[in-house]
Amino acid sequence: MKRIYLLLTLCCALTACKQNKVEFTFSPTEPKAGESVKFTNNSTSGEEWEWTFGDGLTSTIKAPSHVFKQPGKYIVTLKVDKKKAWMASKEITVYDTIPTFVCDDDSVFHIYKDYTFTANVYNPYNYEVKFCWYLPVSNALLLPYAEITDTTMTNSTLHLYFTRPVEDAGLGLEVILNGDTTYIQKYFDVYDRATNSVLIRTPEYDLRQRIFGSRAEGAFVDFTASPLLDEEQDTLQTYNGYTFRLSELADIFEGIEGFHIASRKIYYRWDGLWVANIDGANPVQIDSLECLAMTLDTKDSRIYWANENGVWYMPFVGSDNNKFVTTPVQLNKITDVSRLAADNESRYLYD
């Protein structure tokens, strides 16, 4: 009986020792001042936790996060269930903060895609801070590889898009904090990307302008692009298996000069540019200037047209009364346009 009692006592003691192991880790292992440090509690038992971080602050959360405001060495201690024997301590080195900047989406950079860069500056005492961004430029021509999409380069954030594919495009940021100046420069590889296009016929050239969401790359001559449609491109249309001819619409749309049909709407040239329901109801004028050419991009649901000031576009009209709420956007200032066509093949610049 005495032997059984001793064995039970020994087992209980061993179990207690195993349950009372106190351990913790932290991440990142080399934090900077102002950076959140996550502490992971690996203790094998306990119901109450007492953390001291060495900077005068404490926590009773099992696995807390903590921000050290100053660089230096700190002793972090974890005590379990308020028992001195159940305690572990580690030294953590917090490094000085250096200003930097990050991008909201920096996995791969492409031309004509919006990016936001944000400066990260540790400033716990609210000192005066100034920012100045420097766009990447060509060393030979001093031409920027990017354009900003807001009005200033002196904010803590910068909105831009890259205009050309390039290796090692250097974006710079100067930070002046409490009289101290820090200059940061980061380098990015910027890649071309596929996109739809609009083909533009002028007396001299057939041009192609690539479309990137809300903006477009400059028009350029490209003899590999799909040819423009023939001269009857906006006088003969097939919709829902029926062929419409300009002469057949003359009774409904007097003076009509050309048309396109999509989504039960007819867009037509006559004394400017108009849209109406396919049965002719609810005509609404989109542009009062003479429409020199027009085309529809059914892939991106846009209408493109040319007047004396250049080429314009807007989304398809969706309401029954054809009252459009979007403002037409000018694509370019190319004049003397005689034909337009949507090139729905996703092409790269050098295809």
* Across 2-6, 109-113, 334-338, least confident range: 2-6
Q: Are strands 129-134 and 100-103 parallel, antiparallel or unpaired?
A: unpaired
Fold of the domain spanning 18-94: Immunoglobulin-like (2.60.40)
State the pLDDT at residue 69: 86
Q: Judge whether 18-94 and 100-191 match in fold.
A: yes
To the nearest 10°, the Cα dihedral for 197, 201, 202, 208?
A: 20
Under CATH, which architecture does the 100-191 domain have?
A: Sandwich (2.60)
pLDDT band for position 328 (cuts 50, 70, 90): very high
The pLDDT of residue 171 is above 80 = yes
- pTM as predicted: 0.65
Instruction: For residue 14, name the pLDDT band (cuts at 50, 70, 90).
Output: very low
On whether the CB atoms of residues 146 and 161 are closer than 8 A, the answer is yes
Give whole-number Cα distances, 231 to 114, 228, 323, in Å.
37, 9, 30
Question: Which strands form 310-315's sheet, in the order they lie side by side?
Answer: 293-297, 302-307, 310-315, 329-332
Choice between 7 and 35, residue whose per-residue pLDDT is larger: 35
- Residues in Cβ contact with 132 at an 8 Å cutoff, skipping those fewer than 6 apart: 153, 154, 173, 174
Task: Please give the radius of gyration of the chain, using alpha carbons only, rounded to the nearest integer.
Answer: 34
- Helix, strand, coil distribution of the chain in percent, nearest 5: 5, 50, 45
The DSSP element (H or E) to which 324 belongs, if any, is: none
- Per residue in 100-159, pLDDT (tens digit) is 888 877 678 999 999 999 898 878 778 899 999 998 876 555 567 888 988 789 999 999
State pLDDT tens for residues 172-229. 999 999 888 999 999 989 999 999 999 999 998 899 999 998 888 988 888 777 777 6
Task: Give tens-digit pLDDT for 49-67.
Answer: 999 999 999 999 999 999 9
329 — phi, psi (to 5°)? -110, 135
pLDDT for the residue numbered 1: 46
What DSSP assignment string belongs to 65-97?
EEE--S-EEEEEEEEETT-TTSEEEEEEEEBPP
pLDDT tens figures, 238-274: 888 888 899 888 888 888 999 999 988 999 999 999 9
| Token pair recorded at residue 348 | 């790269």
Domain ranges of the chain: 18-94, 100-191, 195-347
